[in-house]
Structure 1
């Protein structure tokens, strides 16, 4: 008998796609930053969060093309709010955290799309599978702090997240939304 409480369809993670960061390697404010993944299990939204991640960001809004971002997510840190589900998500059918302890996003291009809005293209790698993605990012700047917000839709099966009996997209949808709120401060 299988439990139908959402299993991180989240290939995501990491994905997280992110972003664009702060001008001279800004410092991540982990306490204010979040990366969550939202999937649908039996058509009901289920959200989990990654509790351990790092971001190396260099971004000057005056020179967006020169910006870079690298986000590294600890796949074993995915938290669904229940230890049994968290343990399952770390297993081989989902994140396989023992074999693939990290998911990464590395930017390849950043382009402005509007006032304080950017498209950040890059390579998202989860569970050893790499996909080219582009994520819309909104920048809010206050003093020496930059905040990057965005949502990246991904397809979990492209990353082999949810294999075996969990490949059935009528139970856990293929699309997963990676939502991020990344706060960085300039030194």
Structure 2
């Protein structure tokens, strides 16, 4: 009995083998969808009287759903507890949480919800969506990068937020000569991977 396959049979066997490989790869494809707040950071930097000042938010959460094989289908929603702001000293924290700034009693959470994620190549992306702060919701956009570290996906990026657009710093603080309008937001979001069928 000949062990050689005819050309048509060879093509069928090759197609079947390729299909099996694709199905196996899909069954074990990696999605990063378990946000790890304890490994993540959200920081900010601005100038007051032209002096650089840095701070951070200590409590935030949300969801990330990112498949490196299908980046355009990714989704993200991040919610930041504004009362967790850390300016480096207690008096500053109290001031920023107050009515003229974040007004955390009335607006406790800032939220970003993505609407599109555009791949730019080399693990770079443009993330667009809506930012909601102090009852105002505006379009927002940020560049971001992705890299895999073992079972974790790391998303990093930065963008400029204009505080005046959201009414952050009203009254005597509305003067941009005292506190600059531009606030640099930096994020490092870490998500754990979960394997699942596509």
TM bucket normalised to smaller: 0.7 to 0.9
Q: CA RMSD, aligned part only?
A: 1.2
The residue that corresponds to 1:4 in the other structure is: none
Task: Determine which of 109, 127, 131 is the counterpart of 1:120.
Answer: 127
The residue that corresponds to 2:170 in the other structure is: 163
- Written as runs of structure 1 = structure 2, the 5 A alignment for 1:1-187 is 24=31, 26-187=33-194
Whole-angstrom distance in 1 between the partners of 2:66 and 2:34: 12
The residue that corresponds to 1:3 in the other structure is: none
- How many residues matched? 165
Contact 1:25 1:56 in 2 (8 A): no
- Using the size of structure 1 for normalisation, the TM-score is 0.85
Whole-angstrom distance in 2 between the partners of 1:134 and 1:61: 20
Q: How much has 1:132 moved relative to structure 2?
A: 0.5
Q: How much has 1:134 moved relative to structure 2?
A: 1.1
Whole-angstrom distance in 2 between the partners of 1:25 and 1:140: 11
Whole-angstrom distance in 2 between the partners of 1:100 and 1:24: 33
Q: How much has 1:62 moved relative to structure 2?
A: 1.4
Q: How much has 1:47 moved relative to structure 2?
A: 0.9
Q: How much has 1:142 moved relative to structure 2?
A: 2.0
Q: 1:99 to 1:25 in 2, by over 3 A?
A: farther
Of stretches 138-147 and 172-181 in structure 1, the one that deviates more from structure 2 is: 138-147
The Cα offsets for residues 42-66 of structure 1, whole Å up to 9 and x where unpaired, read as 1111111000000300011211111
Q: Structure 1 runs of 4+ off > 3 angstroms?
A: none
Q: How much has 1:25 moved relative to structure 2?
A: 6.2
Segments of 5+ residues of structure 2 without an aligned counterpart are 1-29
- Using the size of structure 2 for normalisation, the TM-score is 0.80
Relative to its length, the structure with more helix (as a share) is 2
| 1:98 aligned counterpart, secondary structure | coil
Whole-angstrom distance in 1 between the partners of 2:85 and 2:131: 17
